A and B are shown apart, each in its own frame.
Chain A
């Protein structure tokens, strides 16, 4: 029977991290990008909790993860506010439509 160890969690987090990056790079939709950011943050969370469980045995990693969840929520709130604004002006949340800034 396979025992689940630290490395499994690290691989999982690496996969989630890569998916998050991929999501950020490929999505045109603002919400899609936001989801990508959340994935990367959660990849870090998996790491933190796994290290906390297998390496130190202390609760500090869990605590950090809780802070990160809070921060992610705050960031999402701001991000959505920003794109509400964006939508009000441009009638879209396709980020490629923002092309006013150039030389």
Chain B
């Protein structure tokens, strides 16, 4: 394929274009009546985009100002798409036959949104990309289930999402005003950028900039479901179909955290005291509030929803730890363990997989709903004793829950280890070492609290008296997706390097070493 002749803008966005193209093609195919093709085509598009993102040479960052293609982009693309394939598999059984084209194409649009968030080097593009992530999810929730609960969940999610987006946009407008440019990082011969402007203390300290940053963080907090923007999760997660909920745990969160990385990179990771304590409180509260609320739920989906809040808290701890190397006596700034961002990315992907696995397992266990429809189990007593009849689904659920709990031998344990060790070491020797340590202790105590409610679900499955009328879903694709999640969770414990090395090189080279033809992710992959 002669790609050299393509416009750099097109060239840089080939994987995204392929995904969006595939999604559009599915819609057209659906209109033409070949709805059965929708699912295979969506898998094909995702696979094609994976191939594209690893195989094709990626353009140097200088080539165009609007795109910012660095190692983080390569990581985001690959992980989004790989988890995306799992999401597609798990969601195979959800839509009615009539709605399949819309359903799968919307998933693809949303995935493309995450990838664009990482690519965006411009406030306009960043904002549109974040909306591209969210807007399809509003519709997907409504499509995934037909009853009144889904309607309500969609409504709530839509309004709060729109509200958060509007807040963020208002914040963007102030950042634009302060810096006088839309561009995030210097690139493509354009020297003016937000990063350069925020590097000047008088701009960083400016009230308008501060208001802008706070509003942006608030808007992104909604995406990642962090306190104080966490209140919607339980209702939304409960209202959507279980398989869709698995997606909601990954897609907006991943996009939100990538955007947060970009925003803090713009400030050069220089956090003022106020900002530090704000994030500190946010992380501490997110962990604690999430776990406390989760402990009070009787509904499996609501429990997992609030646990999703708590997991965002753990990731915020890692975000606060930052890229490391700020401490004056940190001799090994290159050490992956001291880098909070790589820990965060590892945890994020790990969380995506284990959370999806847990919801896939819930989705696999079916019962007859209140209105006589086929529904996934929801309350604890619905799932009671399911291990007797459906040992494999229960085992997969147990593995994913143990990983969420952070128990070895699962990848979730290593995720927690990386997060907490980065938090303990990144600020070592500075005045912020103490609060970081306190945060770690809050974190580990929280994971002990969390064990109680995860264990309650496992206990219901294994120790409870068998409930009537549980049956397993017959969807093969769901089985494949569930098995893949469970196996991945275990495999990433034995070989964490596969993911962690990539996460680390993604942030270690972030922004300063654009990938050229020779050093693209392709070359690394084929070499291995």
Direct contact of A and B (CB under 8 A): yes
A74-85 interface mask toward B, CB cutoff 8 Å, 1 = contact, 0 = none? 110011011101
Q: Which of A56, A78, A100 contacts B158 (CB 8 A)?
A: A78
Contacts of A99 in B (CB 8 A): 152
With both beta carbons as reference points, the residue of chain A lying nearest to B128 in the complex is identified as: A67
**Do B176 and A24 touch across chains, with their CB atoms under 8 A apart?**
no
**Do A47 and B174 touch across chains, with their CB atoms under 8 A apart?**
yes
| A37 to B458 alpha-carbon distance, docked (Å) | 42
Contacts of A36 in B (CB 8 A): 163
Q: Majority SS of interface residues in chain A?
A: helix
| A64 to B170 alpha-carbon distance, docked (Å) | 12
Q: Given A44-B169, A89-B151, A103-B299, does the pair A82, B180 have CB atoms closer than 8 Å?
A: no
Q: Which of A60, A67, A98 contacts B181 (CB 8 A)?
A: A60
Contacts of B180 in A (CB 8 A): 51, 55-56
Contacts of A98 in B (CB 8 A): 148, 151-152, 155-156
Q: In angstroms, how far is the closest chain A Cβ from the Cβ of B110?
A: 13
**Do A101 and B153 touch across chains, with their CB atoms under 8 A apart?**
yes
Q: Given A78-B135, A90-B151, does the pair A101, B239 have CB atoms closer than 8 Å?
A: yes
Contacts of A45 in B (CB 8 A): 173
Q: Which of B135, B138, B149, B172 contacts A44 (CB 8 A)?
A: B172
Q: Given A47-B173, A48-B176, A79-B158, does the pair A40, B149 have CB atoms closer than 8 Å?
A: no
Q: Does any Cβ of A come within 8 Å of B68's Cβ?
A: no
| A79 to B139 alpha-carbon distance, docked (Å) | 9
Contacts of A95 in B (CB 8 A): 155-156, 159
With both beta carbons as reference points, the residue of chain B lying nearest to A66 in the complex is identified as: B124
**Do A78 and B152 touch across chains, with their CB atoms under 8 A apart?**
no
B132-166 interface mask toward A, CB cutoff 8 Å, 1 = contact, 0 = none? 00010011001000001101111110110011011
Q: In angstroms, how far is the closest chain B Cβ from the Cβ of A58?
A: 8
| A71 to B167 alpha-carbon distance, docked (Å) | 14
Contacts of A47 in B (CB 8 A): 170, 173-174, 176-177
Q: In angstroms, how far is the closest chain B Cβ from the Cβ of A28?
A: 12
Q: Majority SS of interface residues in chain B?
A: helix
Contacts of A100 in B (CB 8 A): 148-149, 152, 239
Contacts of B296 in A (CB 8 A): 103
Q: Which of B123, B166, B176, B182 contacts A40 (CB 8 A)?
A: B166
Q: Which of B135, B176, B238 contacts A75 (CB 8 A)?
A: B135
**Do A86 and B155 touch across chains, with their CB atoms under 8 A apart?**
yes
A-facing residues in B1-58 (Cβ within 8 Å):
none
| A4 to B302 alpha-carbon distance, docked (Å) | 52
Q: In angstroms, how far is the closest chain A Cβ from the Cβ of B119?
A: 17
Q: Given A41-B166, A82-B154, does the pair A48, B173 have CB atoms closer than 8 Å?
A: yes
With both beta carbons as reference points, the residue of chain A lying nearest to B208 in the complex is identified as: A10
Q: Given A78-B139, A98-B155, does the pair A90, B148 have CB atoms closer than 8 Å?
A: yes
Q: In angstroms, how far is the closest chain A Cβ from the Cβ of B166?
A: 4
Q: Does any Cβ of A come within 8 Å of B235's Cβ?
A: yes
Q: In angstroms, how far is the closest chain A Cβ from the Cβ of B240?
A: 10
Contacts of B155 in A (CB 8 A): 30, 82-83, 86, 95, 98
- Told that A61-B182, A98-B152 touch, could you supply 19 new A-B pairs with CB distance under 8 A? A20-B166, A30-B155, A33-B159, A34-B162, A37-B159, A44-B172, A44-B173, A47-B177, A55-B177, A60-B176, A79-B159, A82-B154, A85-B142, A85-B154, A90-B151, A100-B149, A101-B239, A103-B234, A103-B298
Identify the B interface with A (CB < 8 A): 123-124, 127-128, 131, 135, 138-139, 142, 148-149, 151-156, 158-159, 162-163, 165-167, 169-170, 172-174, 176-177, 180-182, 234-235, 238-239, 296-299, 302
CB<8 Å pairs between A and B, sample of 16: A30-B155, A37-B159, A40-B167, A41-B169, A51-B180, A56-B180, A60-B176, A60-B181, A71-B127, A75-B165, A79-B162, A82-B158, A85-B151, A86-B152, A101-B234, A103-B297
Identify the A interface with B (CB < 8 A): 13, 17, 20, 24, 30, 33-34, 36-37, 40-41, 43-45, 47-48, 50-52, 55-56, 60-61, 63-64, 67-68, 71, 74-75, 78-79, 81-83, 85-86, 89-90, 95, 98-101, 103
Closest 10 CB pairs between A and B? A98-B152, A47-B173, A40-B166, A51-B177, A101-B235, A44-B169, A44-B170, A56-B180, A37-B162, A44-B173
